[in-house]
Amino acid sequence: MNPHLTRNLTKLAIAIAAVLTPAATHADTFNFHVDLNLAGIVGTPTSPFFLDFQLNEGSGTLQNSVTISNFLFTGGSPTGSPSIFSDTATGDLGSSISIIDNPSSAFNEIFQGFTAGTTDIQFDVTLSQNVSGVTPDGFLIQLLDSQAGNPVIPTTDPNGTMLTVPIGSANTLADVATFTSISPAGATATASAVPEPSAAVALVGGAACLLGLRRRRAQIAA
Amino acid sequence: MNAPLQLQYHHQPFAYFDNYAPFDTANTVPAAFVGGFAGVGSAGLTHGQNGVTRAQNSAAHLQDERDFFTDVTNGTLPAVSFIKPVGVNNEHPGYATLQQGQAHVASIIQALQANPAVWAHTAVIITYDEHGGRWDHVTPPLRDIWGPGERVPCIVISPLAKKGYVDHAQRDTSSILSTIEQRFGLAALNQRDAVAPNFFDLFSSLDITRGVYVVNQRAHTITQTVTITNRGTSAIAGPVQLVLDNLSATASLTNKTGVTANNTPNGSPYITASTGSIAPGASVTVSLQFAMPTTGGVNYFARTVNGTTNP
């Protein structure tokens, strides 16, 4: 390859990486991955179960929003259509779910069933970071059973959630409280980091730089 | 140069007292007027030191705000500091802005919070010397020829303060003095601060931390876990009652123990958080259950009343 072209491509790669990288450090949402392991409750008498998401206003008026996406079901699939108690919640377990809390829709709940054989459900959560007040806004996940009125499956959380996030200005995984189901027992929740798309872009940009440098060295050596 | 950026000498109280005359290097100060100093800028003066000149005393007491931030960082603050913002930061109508003044106050709070060892036992009292010139529908009470005048805001920020609490007692700026005097066992300067109600009611060693609201739209209920922690060094006698004042009109506390009858504001729902005492460092949690409000959210002011079964 023409040495000038190689050098210029390398410069271009560095320039692209330099332009893209700063954006990666200013994420104003809290992104995490959730793994609900349901193997322990498969086949228990109150199945099939329902997956319930809530985004609730605390004592302030600042609005928060959450997007739940990239659902991955193991051993089963979503069924029926979602039950929505909210002016703002949209979507379903087959695609993605979006919820916004605001003063006119303070308590927002959406839930949908999944087939009895489901052993695991994974998804990504993107949560805004607006601090509400002395009672924080909260994002939470519950499991409901199929009895009349869809009672909440009790967990090690007194409020019966599988996962709770009190929304702060800079949430980390340490703020995500996860719990285990009690009756039926055995369902667990795990929260972990998801690679941010912007970090992936920086990674690709950096790899391009390295490739360019390697080619350049090869040219000089030749 | 922009005049409001400058120190406003007439706002500095030490400018009005002989013992703090800034250029008087001839006369010395009575030992009782030489304070107990700490931190940068104190020039090594000690409490009750003899032979200190008025200029030395002034320089040790009246320092640049930068020294305050240095002492916060170093953990060398004196027991009491007063900060009078320079003109551009004082929110005065006409030559300063609310935004810049409040950003300045926030920078002070953030600096204190950045040193957890200092912040753990610090209280910041933010108040104003005038009300900003806008109409106040509340007629000022009359005590004497000096006022008090229209209401001014007062915000107490501290890890030891009752959180989300609005106090309705009538106080004035001499309450700051009486609070300091009674906290440190000092004599009052005169009758005015001697009778001024202190701020002690605004503090509690019981910290109230609220969890998120969890709803059940099928049953029309909301639950919330509240944790009460004793951050003090002595036990809080039980029973400890959690009182919810000003609860949103469309909400109700369905698992309340009763309503207040002997600790104003009366008529507020309360729930017994602990029947026994709460040891230093210990926490109790209480689960609140609300009926789903027809509209809006659930808001309330939380307070604790302890040592009574009938708050």
Looking at CA atoms only, how far is residue B124 from chain A in angstroms? 18
The pLDDT of residue A17 is above 60: no
Lowest mean pLDDT among A174-188, B129-143, B184-198: B129-143
Cβ within 8 Å of A, B 155-174: 163-164
| Contact residues, chain B, for A130 at CB < 8 Å | none
* pLDDT value, residue B231: 82
CA distance A69 to A34: 10
CA distance B286 to B240: 11
The pLDDT of residue A60 is above 90: no
- Can you read off the two tokens belonging to residue B165? 């609490």
Judged by CB atoms closer than 8 Å, whether chains meet at B217 and A160 is answered as: no
The pair phi, psi for residue A45, each rounded to 5°, is -60, -30
Q: Among B210, B212, B219, select the one facing A56 at the smallest CB separation.
A: B212
The pLDDT of residue B283 is above 70: yes
Average pLDDT over all residues of chain B: 89
Judged by CB atoms closer than 8 Å, whether chains meet at A85 and B210 is answered as: no
Better-scored residue on pLDDT, A179 or A212: A179
Judged by CB atoms closer than 8 Å, whether chains meet at B297 and A59 is answered as: yes
Better-scored residue on pLDDT, B254 or B37: B254
Q: Does B113 touch chain A (CB under 8 A)?
A: no
Contact (CB, 8 A) for B30 and B15: no
CA distances in angstroms from A165 to B47, B212, B227, listed in the order given: 51, 8, 16
The pLDDT of residue B56 is above 60: yes
Peptide bond into A151 cis (omega under 30): no
What's chain B's length in residues? 311
* pLDDT value, residue A217: 61
Looking at CA atoms only, how far is residue A62 from chain B in angstroms? 12
The model carries a pTM of: 0.66
CA distance A192 to A122: 11
Interface test with A, best of B113, B208, B215 (most A CBs within 10 A): B215
pLDDT tens-place string over residues B242-272:
999 889 988 999 999 999 999 888 999 999 9
